[in-house]
């Protein structure tokens, strides 16, 4: 099913939109979370469900010019939840376990999404707490980069090839290596400027 059809179903609040989104991307999201981020099965499905819930709320607010740009957006939302998972895991008490009901995977995300405020996701970055001064400096430097620069740095950090990055972001691969080098240098310069203040 093409991305336009999924968005149309979500816009009219048809539960089939979530089902189609899950069928098209659920397994890919899960595999990425397990293989690239080394999550357990339960952790990976938890992140996948949160990602799908968010997408149901957000997709109708955006317009995409191609399948590649649509999938790039889905990937960004997934990565945000993967990052959030690791931050919350680091800050949580040891011994606490979150259980995911895998027997009810079609209904659960849609029911939960009804309870989530749209503003909760727009305030996502505002509510994050970072204690380590080096991470605070890194976050500030990253916030000054262009969105495509951050995307390239993130994907390279996850060992994606330049061809894969070009495909995910829907951009030309011709100068991607140069763009990556420039983004990395820009980030380092911003960090050095912050340290010298």
Q: Residues 1-17: pLDDT tens digits?
A: 588 899 999 889 888 98
Q: Per the structure, how many domains does the chain have?
A: 2
Looking at the structure, tell me whether residues 153 and 108 fall in a common domain: no
Looking at the structure, tell me whether residues 27 and 80 fall in a common domain: yes
The H or E element spanning position 178 is helix 176-195
Residue 105's pLDDT is 41
Looking at the structure, tell me whether residues 21 and 93 fall in a common domain: yes
Average pLDDT over residues 13-22: 89
Which has more pLDDT, 61 or 186?
186
Looking at the structure, tell me whether residues 124 and 185 fall in a common domain: no
Tell me the pLDDT tens digit for each residue of 102-144: 444 443 333 333 334 444 444 444 444 545 677 778 888 888 9
pTM exceeding 0.85: no
- Both tokens assigned to 90: 């680091």
Q: For residue 21, what pLDDT band results from cuts at 50, 70 and 90?
A: very high
Task: Give the residue among 37, 67, 25, 61 at the shortest CA–CA distance from 168.
Answer: 67
Residue 116's pLDDT is 41
Looking at the structure, tell me whether residues 121 and 143 fall in a common domain: no
Q: Which residues lie below 8 Å from residue 164, measured CB to CB, with a gap of 6+?
A: 155
User: Which of 85, 102, 128 is the C-terminal boundary of a domain?
Assistant: 128
Cβ neighbour number for residue 154 with a 10 Å cutoff: 16
Residue 30's pLDDT is 92
User: Which of 128, 160, 188 is the C-terminal boundary of a domain?
Assistant: 128
Question: What number of residues does the chain have?
Answer: 197
Burial of 146 (C-beta count, 10 Å sphere; 0-12/13-18/19+): exposed
Looking at the structure, tell me whether residues 112 and 137 fall in a common domain: no
Residue 48's pLDDT is 93
Looking at the structure, tell me whether residues 96 and 86 fall in a common domain: yes
Looking at the structure, tell me whether residues 88 and 141 fall in a common domain: no
User: Which of 88, 111, 128 is the C-terminal boundary of a domain?
Assistant: 128
Residue span of the structural domain in which 31 resides: 1-128
Tell me, what CATH number does 172's domain have?
1.10.10.10
């Amino acid at each position: 099913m093409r991305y336009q059809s999924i968005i149309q179903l979500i816009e009219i609040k048809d539960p089939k939109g979530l089902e189609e989104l899950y069928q098209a991307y659920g397994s890919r999201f899960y595999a990425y979370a397990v293989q690239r981020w080394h999550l357990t099965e339960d952790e990976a499905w938890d992140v996948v469900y949160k990602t799908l819930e968010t997408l149901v709320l957000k997709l109708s607010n955006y317009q995409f010019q191609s399948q590649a740009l649509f999938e790039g957006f889905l990937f960004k939302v997934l990565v945000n939840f993967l990052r959030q998972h690791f931050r919350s895991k680091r800050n949580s008490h040891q011994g606490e376990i979150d259980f995911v009901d895998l027997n009810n995977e079609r209904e659960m995300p849609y029911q939960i999404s009804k309870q989530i405020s749209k503003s909760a996701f727009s305030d996502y970055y505002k509510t994050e707490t970072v204690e380590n001064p080096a991470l605070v400096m890194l976050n500030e430097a990253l916030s000054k980069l262009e969105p495509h620069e951050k995307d390239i740095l993130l994907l390279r950090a996850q060992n994606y090839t330049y061809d894969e990055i070009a495909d995910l972001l829907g951009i030309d691969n011709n100068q991607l290596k140069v763009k990556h080098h420039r983004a990395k240098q820009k980030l380092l310069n911003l960090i050095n400027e912050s340290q010298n203040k």
